[in-house]
Amino acid sequence: MYIVQIASECAPVAKVGGLADVVYGLSRKLSLRGHAIEIILPKYDCMRYDHIWGLHVAYQDLWVPWYSGAIHCTVFYGWVHGQQCFFIEPHSSDNFFNRGHFYGSLDDHLRFAFFSKAALEFLQKSNKRPDVIHCHDWQTGLIPVMLFEMYKWHGLWEQRVCYTIHNFKHQGITGGDILRATGLNNEGYYFHYDRLRDNFNPFALNFMKGGIVYSNAVTTVSPHHAWEAHHTDISCGLGHTLHMHQDKFKGILNGIDYSIWNPEVDHSIPFQYSWENIEEKSKNKKVLRERLLLDSSDPNKPIVAFIGRLDDQKGVHLVHHALYYALSRGAQFVLLGSATENTINSWFWHEKFHQNNNPNCHIELGFDPELATLIYAGADMMVVPSNYEPCGLTQLISLRYGTVPIVRGVGGLVSTVFDRDYDQYRPPEERNGYVFYQTDTHALESSMDRALGLYYVYPDEFKKLQIQGMQCDYSWHGPAEEYEALYDFVKA
């Protein structure tokens, strides 16, 4: 099959969160399975250009209709770790993708509506006719809308769309001006509850809703999150829309790329190891301590870690509590995170200064993939106390590196982590971590207490749990087969 992925992120060139890993990992797996895969991305000024090989102009004069005129774009082509990528660069005073950041501008809805339109225009003009267009999150929600309302009549009439929702929280809600910008125009038609009109704000249009309504198949990133989206308020107002389109909606669990996330061959960590020689992991722990200037007088002290965006979704109040609880139980704590919200950012900067001279705690504020890998390899436990978590990659990577996850039982965390002591469905030899459900500190403490208790009192049992986690298969193998079946189902 010929599949084009259109997204606002792709690891490692343009990565903010898990979306980037999914776009790259799924594409790579599908290519290995013999499909022709291309990825279309915006050409951001702040991309990691050192990860793009052979970047050159592929299409010189792409004119994308925009409001009553057109914007001139150049399309570049390059390889990102074996994947074929096209990068769209608009030349206009709007400077859509030369902002020094991926998201966070006031006109984000215009930036990504433009990108969506430019991607379709590129497919049309360059005579690319994929079987399936796979688009992701609100940024590309208008693609199926424009495809089936406009581009279908201009040569793209056989293309089908699979739309994956990675996060319901950001939906791209904006006013009717976007219809004039994209040329969809007809306000009366699109401001209908069966189409793009937001379910709660009658004066706004909703990109993600458009994606759900118009796509041939809609997925979210874990089966449990799909259930939550149907039956709880986690879909942030889109529950009714999902209900109306339930026949084409399902959850497919994300995988992680085992060619990248593999402690046996990962040369970004100082010591490689597998479940058969997991003792080697402790050498990485030593290096981690040295790098972060943590006390190493007692090599057996456990290291509890957190890696992730510091925002409300990730349960920051519990992350903060986990830090103090770990220290109070004689463990060390390492935090790597970045916050976009000012209040959370200053809270953790304050905490960082407070802990500056603590030899058992390190807080690193920023985005550092290399350090993240060393933490996965060197830590003993990873806390993931999310308020909600569509899939979550942190626990999957932790499992792969023998770092026991302690998670809140929501979304994809429920589909991937099975409590060592209490899981009702998995036999003991298939359990791999600790799960708590409530959002209060007692729930977190009790699961951390069980994990640390096992570590201190029954180290062999703890090791067994680490090995069981490493033996889980959360590669792209299974998910790619599911997507393949879905593409096959929707393709014309």
Residues that bind ligand ADP (CB under 6 A): 17-18, 21, 307-309, 336-338, 367-369, 372, 391-394, 397
**CB of residue 222 vs ligand ADP: minimum separation in angstroms?**
10
Nearer to ligand ADP, 307 or 448 (CB): 307
What is the phi/psi pair of residue 449, to 5°? -60, -40
Shorter beta-carbon distance to ligand ADP: residue 156 or 404: 404
- Shortest distance (Å) from residue 307 CB to ligand ADP: 5
Concatenating the DSSP letter of every residue in 42-58 gives E--TTS-GGGEEEEEEE
Backbone angles phi, psi at 266, to 5 degrees: -75, 105
Q: Given the complex with ligand ADP, which of 155 and 369 has the nearer CB atom?
A: 369
Nearest Cα to Cα of residue 19 among 365, 27, 51, 311: 27
CB of 392 to ligand ADP, least distance (A): 4
**Separation between Cα atoms, residue 177 and residue 174, nearest integer Å:** 8
Q: With respect to ligand ADP, which residue has the nearer C-beta, 85 or 221? A: 221
CB of 155 to ligand ADP, least distance (A): 35
**Toward ligand ADP, which CB reaches closer, 251 or 337?**
337
Return d(Cα 365, Cα 399) in angstroms, integer: 23
Closest contact distance (angstroms) between CB of 316 and ligand ADP is 13
DSSP string, 243-269: HHTGGGEEE----B-TTTS-TTT-TTS
Q: What is the DSSP string of 6-35?
A: E-S-BTTTB-SSHHHHHHHHHHHHHHHTT-
Amino acid at 389: E
Q: Nearest distance from residue 237's CB to ligand ADP, in Å?
A: 20
CB-based closest residue to ligand ADP: 18
Q: What is the DSSP letter of 205?
A: E
Cβ closer to ligand ADP: 242 or 396? 396
CA distance 236 to 216: 22
Nearer to ligand ADP, 246 or 340 (CB): 340
User: Which DSSP letter does residue 192 get?
Assistant: S
Least CB distance to ligand ADP at residue 367 (A): 4
